[in-house]
Amino acid sequence: MSSPKIIVIFFILILCNSSKSCDITHECPTDNDVIWAINGTDCHTFRNKCFLDNVNCNHQNNKEHQLEVTSKEDCQRLCKTKCPEDDEPVCGYYNEHSQGQTFSNQCEMDAHICKTGETLFVYGVGPCEPADAKDEEEVEEPSS
């Protein structure tokens, strides 16, 4: 007779623990130890476990499904192979010291990340500026 009570208490404990919110780490280290994770239908790559933990924490706080760590091969089976031909460029970069790479749209960037495992961040909407363009704008011509 005590067995059903134990099961009920067990499920109550699970529900209570799953409703707790977690704290997101806003700063993650930049070390590159790629983590592959799936949500059932999509492959996601993360630079390291800290980035995955932040996303899963956000999912937990919003009562969404957690991403599960998987192998590169299993994840890549879910990579998108076709993207819309929308011309809505995005600029992705590896880190603040790297030159950006322009993709025709967010889907193209996501597909590239999924296929290669490169952990790019969106720098901005629109094509990337050439590395020297910003420096040239800031340099003033000497007056004669």
Pair (85, 142) in one structural domain: yes
Q: Which pLDDT tens digit goes with each residue over 37-82? A: 999 889 999 999 999 999 999 999 889 999 999 999 999 999 988 9
- Tell if the pTM clears 0.75, that is, is over it: no
Q: Is residue 6 part of a domain?
A: no
Q: Is residue 142 part of a domain?
A: yes
Pair (83, 140) in one structural domain: yes
Pair (65, 87) in one structural domain: no
Pair (137, 87) in one structural domain: yes
What does the H/E/C string look like for the chain? CHHHHHHHHHHHHHHHHHCCCCCCCCCCCCCCCCEEEECCCCEEEECCHHHHHHHHHHHHHCCCCCCEEECHHHHHCCCCCCCCCCCCCEEEECCCCCCCEEECCHHHHHHHHHHHCCCCEEEEECCCCCHHHHHHHHCCCCCC
Pair (138, 96) in one structural domain: yes
Q: Is residue 133 part of a domain?
A: yes
Q: Which domain holds residue 31?
A: 22-78
Mean pLDDT of 27-37: 89
